Structure 1
Amino acid sequence: VEDIEKLNKRAIQHELDITAVSAHAYAYLKDYVILNSGGSFGINYGPIVISNRNIELKKLHEHKIGIPGKMTSANLLLNLAIGKFDGIEIIFNKIPQYVSSGLVDAGLIIHEAQISVGDEFHKILDLGQWWHDFTNGMPVPLGINVISKRSLATQEIIEFDRFFKRSIEYGLEHLDDALEYSMQFSRGNSKMLIEKFVKMYVNDLTTNMNQEGKDSIITMLRKAKTNSILSYDELLFIDSNNQQIQKYH
């Protein structure tokens, strides 16, 4: 199983026709369309910043923070929340260890590490809560799936999105079987922990992000563009109802 930041980098090189990437990373991609299905959105929860000591939120940007990748959505959200900071890239599941040993002052926690992290840490910032307040209740855009429009025609992309949605629906209808299958990719975590993680980030927007999910992605990337954090030309989404690709700037 590849780390999400590795997938982000492979997508930038256009090595993959279809792949999961961070919503943040989409700003750096060319000729990929965002699929309606398979996205990961937090509903009033998301990545968290932890430390082994209590750090004032207003001074968090002054500290060295372990991050799971520069192109992760978590990193962009933290940048939007606190401004520029010294981010040290660390494999996501090693970040608590780096914080505990004092190699970094704080750590940005994502994925199942959010659930498994111990009570010995202070929670400095909940980016899910921050984003919820900042946007008046929008879901937190984290992971998306994209498809190459270099490799597939528009109609093929729309057809794939339809089949992809149905596969997710089938997995949710047979959740126990799906969890059992996913255990081979669980990085040694227990089935109970993986089930808890899945139920945190697999929701109605995973089946179909609809306009609500699209708006949250657009809002995050536009805000980052306004703040001169990143730049992009256009955002491409599938409009299944009208059988076409939607463009946003």
Structure 2
Amino acid sequence: YAPEVSQTVVLRFDRIMEAVQNGEVDGGVIIHEGRFTYQEKGLHCVRDLGNWWEEETGYPIPLGCIAARASLDRSLLQEIDQGIRASLGWIRQHPEQGMDYIRAHAQELDRRVIGSHIDLYVNDFSEELGDEGIQAVQELLRRGRESGIFSMEGQLQWIR
């Protein structure tokens, strides 16, 4: 995104806003709940990278994945996939049931912030990536390889 940046510092996500506030770094990429609370800490958004990605590519931004070794038995992979889908479907139907667990592991404890985070990131793509989601991941991988950020050999196999 910003090739003019000459030095990067790797920090755990929950340290980034504090490091910017303390002047340890000039700026940072904020993820997770911090996306909804950075203004409360006196910070401002230079560029929303999710919006940038969508404007640049026309695809939703791939934020994470669940990966497994291709050598595992396909029936086991499908069973894992079905379990994850069932879990996501259940929690989307019963969001309050998971709130204690979420609050125990969340960086921000405000229910509004947690709700906004879940509403934005736990969506239809979480349950079924679909063709558009797969194209988004492939575009991310292509750009990463072209820029030299990472190399990847072989093809991804999708469990659908």
Same fold (TM over 0.5): yes
Deviation at 1:188, TM superposition (A): 5.7
Question: 2: distance between equivalents of 1:228 and 1:89?
Answer: 18
Deviation at 1:230, TM superposition (A): 1.8
Matched, 1:220 2:140: yes
TM score, norm. by length of structure 1: 0.59
Identify the residue that residue 111 of structure 1 maps to in structure 2: 32
Matched, 1:88 2:9: yes
Q: 2:66 aligns with which of 145, 159, 179?
A: 145
Query: In 1, are the aligned partners of 2:17 and 2:28 still within 8 Å (CA)?
Result: yes
Change (3 A) 1:179 1:234: farther
Deviation at 1:180, TM superposition (A): 3.2
Deviation at 1:138, TM superposition (A): 0.5
Identify the residue that residue 175 of structure 1 maps to in structure 2: 95
Deviation at 1:183, TM superposition (A): 2.0
More strand by share: 1
Deviations 1:186-238 (A, max 9, x none): 24622332111111111100111111111101101111212222211024232
Structure 2: tracts of 5 or more residues without a match: none
Question: 2: distance between equivalents of 1:87 and 1:176?
Answer: 39
Identify the residue that residue 79 of structure 2 maps to in structure 1: 159
Query: In 2, are the aligned partners of 1:141 and 1:216 still within 8 Å (CA)?
Result: yes
Q: 2:46 aligns with which of 124, 127, 151?
A: 124
Deviations 1:112-156 (A, max 9, x none): 111121252231111112111111x20001111112334x30111
Question: 2: distance between equivalents of 1:167 and 1:107?
Answer: 33
Amino acid at match of 1:111: H
Structure 1: tracts of 5 or more residues without a match: 1-80, 241-249
User: Kindly, what percent of the aligned residue pairs are identical?
Assistant: 26
Query: In 2, are the aligned partners of 1:179 and 1:195 still within 8 Å (CA)?
Result: no
Deviation at 1:96, TM superposition (A): 1.1
Extract structure 1 runs of 4+ deviating beyond 6 A: none
Deviation at 1:104, TM superposition (A): 0.5
Question: 1: distance between equivalents of 2:65 and 2:74?
Answer: 18
Q: Which has the higher contact order (CA 8 A, sep 6+)?
A: 1
Identify the residue that residue 192 of structure 1 maps to in structure 2: 112
TM score, norm. by length of structure 2: 0.89
Amino acid at match of 2:112: M
Question: 2: distance between equivalents of 1:218 and 1:115?
Answer: 28
Deviations 1:46-90 (A, max 9, x none): xxxxxxxxxxxxxxxxxxxxxxxxxxxxxxxxxxx1126311111
Deviation at 1:98, TM superposition (A): 1.0
Amino acid at match of 2:59: M
More helix by share: 2
What is the Cα-based RMSD across aligned positions, in Å? 1.7
